[in-house]
Amino acid sequence: MGKMIDELHDSASKGQLDLVLMIIESSKQKSVINAQNDQGWTALMFAARNGRVNVADALIKKGCDVDLMTKSGQTAVEIAQFWNHSSIVTLITGDSNINSNIPCQLSTVVTYFGKNPLDRCSTMRDNQEWIEKELHQASTKYILFHKLNPFVLYQDNKYEICPVSYKDISFLLMGDSKPVYIFLGLGCLDLSITNGEKNAWFALDVSTLEEEKVLKFSKKAEILSSKNKYAIMGFDEIQAGVIAQSKSLLTWHLRYRFCPTCGSVTNIAEAGYKRICTNKDCISLQGIHNTSYPRLDPVVIMLIISPDKQQCLLGRQKTFPPGLFSCLAGFMEPGETIEDAVRREVMEESGIKVDKVQYYTCQPWPMPMQLMIGCLAYATSNYIKVDQNELEAARWFPKKEIMDILTGHGLNSGAAFSLPPKQTIAYQLIKTFVGTSSNL
């Protein structure tokens, strides 16, 4: 087996596509495509290192794991970026706009829940005639939500949106009393066969129906359980963004049925992106007021780096799964900058003083409707004093210890802690701390 892996890696490095495919197809073990050498390198990484576009393309199409890392903490895309192989960066990420001359941690990062292929067509939301027309199109797709839980399919070890056509739910949209619907935009998702045409997509709240009736829309589908909060991370990145858009807006409608200004009943407008107070004397009807538009709660989430830059601070809440440590986080307060919010939260929760704060990236978080603002924070002190009301524990983690967990090697050594899922911004911050090296 070892000789076969060596031959696979050597062939990938040299761009010998026929030999790479022959080795993969002749192997009785499906895992050979992701086999790693002593330094954690895979066939894709060797192809990325040497700019072998044809090999990289074939490996990706055969389902290789693009997120595996070397023992030094680099993924294939980071290796390709380091060596300025932009074609391979595009192949792996699907984003042709990434500048391969910019180090990975400084380039544009698109987090999970942050990708959305639909054109939101925001200028058309107040055109009710156009919205009504799209609601009734045979090609229009509906994503059903029952008590904020999406109607989904589970196949190939992941969840997929189970789109429903207008003819199936037309009875719900007849008459004046329609369920809450959100116009999501125009475009195509992987499950939509459109021959290049742009379908209209809507999120539809079907909570008034019994679960049994919802399940009849598709015998193969299910209502995603809300008991496991990580289940919503089981979608591919494209569909996850649409789910986040839908769930956040439907949550807002559920919680803000009455005017925050005067308490009167509100009506839905602009295809689900506005609520209008029915009290003609309410000041929310005079000018533009944020009480009329969807709520979004900004949260700072930060990785604290030690003064010597060799350790990072992670904490755990009592509600975390056993052994899980993550970045500190907290809601921003009115009249507060991002930097001050980071410093205040870190001091309150851990007693650590922070000086420099560097913005990294952000992540929409539909649980229920937050925007996670990711930062790197540089500590000027080491002594930890945990606020037991906020955290159960917090401690400094050496870079090597974090790297061992990220690359999977710590799991074999009986590591006593775990890190957040790859889909979280916390994971991205932690991975950035490990950083790239010249060992490429």
Query: Distance of alpha carbon 421 from its chain centroid, rounded?
Result: 10
Please give the Cα distance from 310 to 312 (Å, whole number).
Answer: 7
User: Could you report the per-residue pLDDT of 376-407, keeping only the tens digit for each?
Assistant: 999 999 999 999 998 999 999 998 888 888 87
Provide the token pair at 324: 């899980």
Q: CA distances (Å), 50 to each of 36, 40, 68, 79, 105, in order? A: 17, 17, 18, 9, 21
User: Could you report the per-residue pLDDT of 76-86, keeping only the tens digit for each?
Assistant: 988 988 888 88
Mark whether 93 and 130 lie in a shared domain: no
Assess if residue 261 is contained within a domain: no
pLDDT of res. 263: 94
Mark whether 317 and 356 lie in a shared domain: yes
Mark whether 100 and 149 lie in a shared domain: no
pLDDT of res. 438: 41
What is the domain count for the chain? 3
Residue found under tokens 């992701």: 34
pLDDT lower than 50: segments of the chain: 98-107, 192, 194, 411-413, 436-440
Out of 255, 286, 318, pick the residue that ends a domain. Answer: 255
| 8 Å CB contact between 385 and 391 | no
Pairing mode, strands 266-269 and 328-331 = unpaired
Three-state secondary-structure class, residue 181:
strand
Three-state secondary-structure class, residue 257:
coil
Mark whether 144 and 248 lie in a shared domain: yes
Q: CA distances (Å), 164 to each of 21, 135, 153, 191, 366, in order? A: 39, 12, 12, 11, 22
Mark whether 378 and 312 lie in a shared domain: yes
- The residue type at 400: K
- The residue type at 47: A
Assess if residue 60 is contained within a domain: yes
Mark whether 78 and 190 lie in a shared domain: no
- Residues 375, 424, 86: CA angle, nearest 5 degrees: 80
Q: Which domain holds residue 166?
A: 122-255
**What's the predicted TM-score (pTM) here?**
0.79
Assess if residue 29 is contained within a domain: yes
Burial class (CB in 10 A: 0-12, 13-18, 19+), 413: exposed
Assess if residue 111 is contained within a domain: no
Provide the token pair at 149: 């839980």
For residue 417, the domain's CATH number is 3.90.79.10
Out of 255, 272, 306, pick the residue that ends a domain. Answer: 255
Q: CA distances (Å), 221 to each of 159, 162, 224, in order? A: 10, 7, 9
Mark whether 384 and 411 lie in a shared domain: yes
Provide the token pair at 356: 């420099």
Residue found under tokens 């921003």: 332
Assess if residue 112 is contained within a domain: no
Pairing mode, strands 164-165 and 141-146 = antiparallel
Mark whether 301 and 429 lie in a shared domain: yes
- Residues 275, 277, 278: CA angle, nearest 5 degrees: 125
For the stretch 202-224, what's the b/e string if a residue is b when 16 or more beta carbons lie within 10 angstroms of its beta carbon? Answer: bbbbbbebeeeebbebbeebbbb
DSSP state of 208: T
Out of 106, 140, 165, pick the residue that ends a domain. Answer: 106
Please give the Cα distance from 362 to 311 (Å, whole number).
Answer: 23
| 8 Å CB contact between 433 and 377 | no
pLDDT of res. 169: 94
Q: What are the phi and psi torsion angles at 289 (to 5°)?
A: -130, 135
Query: How many residues are there in the chain?
Result: 440
pLDDT of res. 196: 62
Please give the Cα distance from 165 to 188 (Å, whole number).
Answer: 14
| 8 Å CB contact between 293 and 253 | no
pLDDT of res. 292: 86
Assess if residue 30 is contained within a domain: yes
Mark whether 235 and 358 lie in a shared domain: no
Assess if residue 279 is contained within a domain: no
Mark whether 191 and 224 lie in a shared domain: yes
In 3D, which of 116, 277, 106 has the Cα closest to residue 186? 116
Residue found under tokens 């005017």: 259
| 8 Å CB contact between 100 and 80 | yes
Please give the Cα distance from 404 to 412 (Å, whole number).
Answer: 9
pLDDT of res. 107: 46
Three-state secondary-structure class, residue 196:
coil
Cα end-to-end span (Å), the chain: 25
For residue 6, the domain's CATH number is 1.25.40.20
Assess if residue 76 is contained within a domain: yes
Provide the token pair at 278: 């029915």
Mark whether 163 and 241 lie in a shared domain: yes
Cβ neighbours for 251, distance < 8 A, ≥ 6 positions apart: 148, 366, 368, 369
Mark whether 134 and 237 lie in a shared domain: yes
Burial class (CB in 10 A: 0-12, 13-18, 19+), 312: buried
